[in-house]
Chains A and B, each alone.
Chain A
Amino acid sequence: MTGVAIVGAAETTELGRIPDTSQLQLHADAALNAFADTGLTAKDIDGVATAGSTPVELVHYLGITPRWVDGTSVGGCSFMIHVRHAVAAIQTGQAETVLITHGESGRSGIGRGARGGGTAGLAQQFENPYGAMGPTTMFTIPVLRYMKEYGLTHEQLATVCVVQREWAGRNPRASYRDPITVDDVFASRMIAYPFHLLECCLVTDGGGALILTRAERAKDFPQNPAHILGTGESAESPMVSQMQDLCSSRAFRVAGSEAMRDAGIGHDDVDHLMVYDAFAHLPIYGLEDLGFCQKGEAAGFIADGNTRPGGKLPLNTNGGGLSYMHSGMYGMYALQESVRQMRGTAPAQVPGAEVSVCLGVGGMFAASGCIVMGTEATA
């Protein structure tokens, strides 16, 4: 137990294509929705963390006077890491009530700062000259090695997307809800062999916000709390080419094991799992690196139905980045779904779910954050 709970959680009013809203306003829309979720106002917030925008922009824009800020920006898992840092700040009295925001005009590009830039960084010197062009070519590059080492098949990789679409079909806010088959995945456009379009995440607009405070205050808020039971974070390399092991993420292993140890839980205690799925192989790596499956067994675990609706380990129950939404830094939406499952308000609610593990990735296996939540203050 950490003694800290998420008492407010909300996404932007709309998700998907939001061409009339700037990125900064997406942060604010999510924050205002989180305020409404709690009954708090900007005056009640004394800590702010964000990525994509800066905490300075946020406090100015929202009218917050912070005594604690965190601008950790390591990609899509930044928000998991913000939760971890906020827990420490609240535990030590550096902050009482922390707001974490995400907003990203990933599809429409409204008010989005320049991306990339520079030619002298490590990735700019040692990856970009070879035509590496973002996640579709870099996040995907380890997989052929995994396939050779562990016998992962193209059908199994496609099945990850098929199963997640089943979850998305139960979620009215999911971008794509119609059922798909393995053949549909294979028939979709090749993006970067061996990845077809349906094995890659969406690119959409949206945002989300969380409000954390001391767990003993949780009863003062209208929603059921999501107690933070444990947290972990790590980082490995800014270059996917320099991963220690192409078949496993060191950052996943470090962040995941620390979060579960911190929570004092074992794998059998986990009722619900979120693994940031920018591409179809991410849930496979996550299941193995978190220790839910032995190395090489996660694809079979998914194909056998263990993670689908009614399975023993419901995974990515909002439909995931593959079918729900993916703005660019998806970690916030994985956290939102874990909170909904702990509140008992998810569209595809897992009956009786009491413990949720939420694993995020930043960059291309560059960083990770992991949060364990529970319906009670202790597991």
Chain B
Amino acid sequence: MADLQPRPLPTPTPETAHFWEGTRNGEIRLQRCLDCDRTYFPSRPFCPACGSKNVEVVTASGRGTLLSYVINHRRHPSFDGPYCIALVKLEEGPTMMSNIVECEQTPDALVLDMPLQAVFERQNDEISVPLFKPAEQSA
């Protein structure tokens, strides 16, 4: 494996600080509108559906499904070999981009709609990024 550089890291803004504080603590924090009940992402201090500022931060279950993906074959300084860039449909409704870990990065292993579970990869004292692994199938 070649020496890899750190991932491109986000700089949180006042509006997104709660999200990155959440991932630091092993949680995906979404927001929910108390007026129209919509749960949304990415973070902003008002509801994108109705404009209400009457919103709260909610902790997501961390469960989701694989909505779509590509397997990137071009070199990226932070990734080793072909890697999956995924869109994950969270149980609460919103979609987020992520990577799928603990899984072969192949079309055969990456099956659309497979259940996923969030894991958190620490980058530094401030930033941990939310990734997803195949969920354990409950019997």
Query: Taking the complex as formed, is A92 at the interface, i.e. its CB lies under 8 A from any CB of chain B?
Result: no
Range for the number of chain B residues in contact with chain A: 20 to 34
Q: Across the interface, which residues of A come within 8 angstroms of B99, CB to CB?
A: 130-131
From B11, B73, B87, B113, give the contact of A141 (CB < 8 A): B87
Q: Across the interface, which residues of B come within 8 angstroms of A246, CB to CB?
A: 67-68, 87
Q: Across the interface, which residues of B come within 8 angstroms of A120, CB to CB?
A: 10-13
Range for the number of chain A residues in contact with chain B: 20 to 34
Query: Taking the complex as formed, is B96 at the interface, i.e. its CB lies under 8 A from any CB of chain A?
Result: yes
From B9, B70, B113, give the contact of A129 (CB < 8 A): B9
> Quick check: A192 and B68 within 8 Å, CB to CB?
no
Query: Taking the complex as formed, is A187 at the interface, i.e. its CB lies under 8 A from any CB of chain B?
Result: no
> Quick check: A126 and B97 within 8 Å, CB to CB?
yes
Q: Across the interface, which residues of B come within 8 angstroms of A132, CB to CB?
A: 85, 97
A148 to B95, CA, bound (A): 17
> Quick check: A137 and B70 within 8 Å, CB to CB?
yes
Chain B interface mostly: loop
Interface centre among B42, B67, B68 (most CB of A within 10 A): B68
CB distance from B54 to the nearest CB of A (A): 22
> Quick check: B97 and A136 within 8 Å, CB to CB?
no
From A137, A148, A190, give the contact of B85 (CB < 8 A): A137
Binding site for B on A (CB under 8 A): 118-120, 122, 124-133, 136-137, 140-145, 148, 189-195, 239, 241-242, 246
Binding site for A on B (CB under 8 A): 7-13, 16, 42, 67-74, 76, 78-79, 82-83, 85-87, 95-99, 107, 112-113, 129
The 6 A-B pairs at the shortest CB distance, nearest first, are namely A125-B10, A145-B68, A193-B71, A120-B11, A192-B70, A241-B97
Sampled A-B contacts (20; CB under 8 Å): A118-B11, A119-B10, A120-B12, A124-B11, A125-B10, A129-B7, A130-B7, A141-B69, A142-B87, A144-B69, A144-B70, A144-B112, A145-B67, A148-B113, A190-B82, A191-B74, A193-B71, A241-B87, A246-B68, A246-B87
